[in-house]
Structure 1
Amino acid sequence: MGNIVELRQVRKSYGEGTPVVTEVLHGIDLAIAEGEFAALTGPSGSGKSTLLNIIGLLEHASSGQLRINGQDTAQLNDAAITALRGRSIGFIFQFHHLLPGFSALENVMMPAIIDSGWPSTQAHDTAMQLLTQVGLKDAAHKRPAQLSGGMQQRVAIARALSLSPRLILADEPTGNLDTHSADEVFELLQSINRERQSACLIVTHDAGLAARCQRQVRMVDGQLLPGA
């Protein structure tokens, strides 16, 4: 089984070109295998979200190498980066970021609409299948305000799966939920990981949830602890 993500000596600094340069990632080496379910843990300010954003191609590393699906991302132009991010990576955040004026179904369809430029029948059918998978078939035509926090996060998970990504990145996906809803969302992510073999990297402060992952990657002060 190959690696879906490979980082070699990745560094990230802010304020480059100014008198005050702050390096927040200090030479990160990390690999995430296809189908792996891993937690990224560490104290606030340790660089977890920055690392997740770099893996997700939302930010550029200052130096080092990042390979996604075997592609060296430094060799890709902005259009290719956008395409790789849209088709290979699904994002789930602490706050669901659903579009309030659209139904759950339309929110789940949105990545496919953006990718193809129009709402195809296939996008509609795929979105309905995903909502059924996350237990929200009957809520397909409800808007986010009509759904509970846990239901909204399940819509966000379905949206993240819209284009069948090989990698799912989740930044505190249960951090805004009560214990019961958090457990449901976590179990849903595990189920998706098993069924689809999508690699999952989850940032979490919840030690109990992290312990249920296949691997824990621990980060302190912009560095990974040995064994990551």
Structure 2
Amino acid sequence: MSTPTIAPVIELAGLTKAYNIGTPVETEVLHGIDLSLAEGEFAALIGPSGSGKSTLLNIIGLLERPTGGRLSIGGRDTARLSEAEITQLRGRSIGFVFQFHHLLPAFTAVENVMMPTIIARGAADDEAEAMALSLLDAVGLKAHAYKKPSELSGGQQQRVAIARALGLKPRLILADEPTGNLDTHTADDIFALLREFNRQTRCACLIVTHDPRLAERCDRIVRLVDGHIAGPV
């Protein structure tokens, strides 16, 4: 019996992105990107400033639409999806971790972790809170669950952000410089935490980083230069 083919978590084929289309200042920033990421893979996305990393991450994260080419997530061609379907796919399949944690200051750590579930379900319940507490326990912050972000250190706030990203058990984690504003020791802890969740849940991870030490500890390094993938991917 043949083994069934498993679709990549993400697959980009000939993907392009341009801004100001049809005007004298039209600019293409991504030029025919071919890239795939398999279940359980942990990859670094590196490149100089202005190379298109953030644009590419926004497109993969369904925050922007590509101008051309194809983007598939879990075998679904996103060009065929309505805005409502895109929103649903993004909410259920993708977790985001940013350099600046973007926690909601008026809410406690556990409430911030629950937020994706509240948005997805329309309300909070005991099950959602129990899951959020379990995630905070996993990142070593259960004792701080009812503190607000202002009462937490930068590293602790980033741990809350990671717990929040994992709230709906996404197939894909996108992290944009998640350790960029942390000291070396805390950065190593945050990276190790992402790596551990990657191993436990088999979610695919794409990490934008300027830190070569962290990039070298990933399964694969994807280098973006002037809107092109440089070298083997």
Over residues 73-98 of structure 1, what are the superposed CA-to-partner deviations in whole Å (9 max), with x where a residue is unaligned? Answer: 00000000000000000000000000
Q: Which runs of 4+ in 1 moved over 2 A?
A: none
1:169 is matched with 174
Identity of aligned residues (%): 65
Superposed counterparts of 1:129-168, under 5 Å? 129-168=134-173
Q: What is the aligned length?
A: 228
SS across alignment from 1:169: strand
Partner residue of 1:128 out of 129, 133, 141: 133
Question: Structure 2 length normalisation: TM-score?
Answer: 0.97
Q: Is the 8 A contact 2:70 2:79 kept in 1?
A: yes
Over residues 133-187 of structure 1, what are the superposed CA-to-partner deviations in whole Å (9 max), with x where a residue is unaligned? Answer: 0000000000000000000000000000010000000000000101111000000
1:109 is matched with 114
1:79 aligns with 2:84: yes
1:206 is matched with 211
Over residues 28-58 of structure 1, what are the superposed CA-to-partner deviations in whole Å (9 max), with x where a residue is unaligned? Answer: 0000001100000010110011000000000
How far apart, CA to CA, are the structure 2 residues paired with 1:118 and 1:43? 42
1:36 is matched with 41
1:66 is matched with 71
2:59 is matched with 54
How far apart, CA to CA, are the structure 2 residues paired with 1:52 and 1:120? 32
The gaps in structure 2 that reach 5 residues or longer are 1-5
How many Å apart are 1:121 and its aligned residue? 1.4
How many Å apart are 1:18 and its aligned residue? 1.6
Question: Structure 1 length normalisation: TM-score?
Answer: 0.99
How far apart, CA to CA, are the structure 1 residues paired with 2:88 and 2:22? 29
1:187 is matched with 192
Amino acid at match of 1:188: L
Amino acid at match of 2:8: N
SS across alignment from 1:57: coil
Cα RMSD after superposing both structures: 0.6
SS across alignment from 1:3: coil
How far apart, CA to CA, are the structure 1 residues paired with 2:29 and 2:125? 42
How far apart, CA to CA, are the structure 1 residues paired with 2:184 and 2:153? 14
SS across alignment from 2:210: coil
Amino acid at match of 1:6: E
Amino acid at match of 1:75: R
Once structures 1 and 2 are overlaid, which stretch shifts more, 114-123 or 77-86? 114-123
1:217 aligns with 2:195: no
SS across alignment from 1:185: helix
How far apart, CA to CA, are the structure 2 residues paired with 1:183 and 1:2? 31
Partner residue of 1:227 out of 194, 214, 232: 232
How far apart, CA to CA, are the structure 1 residues paired with 2:212 and 2:61? 23
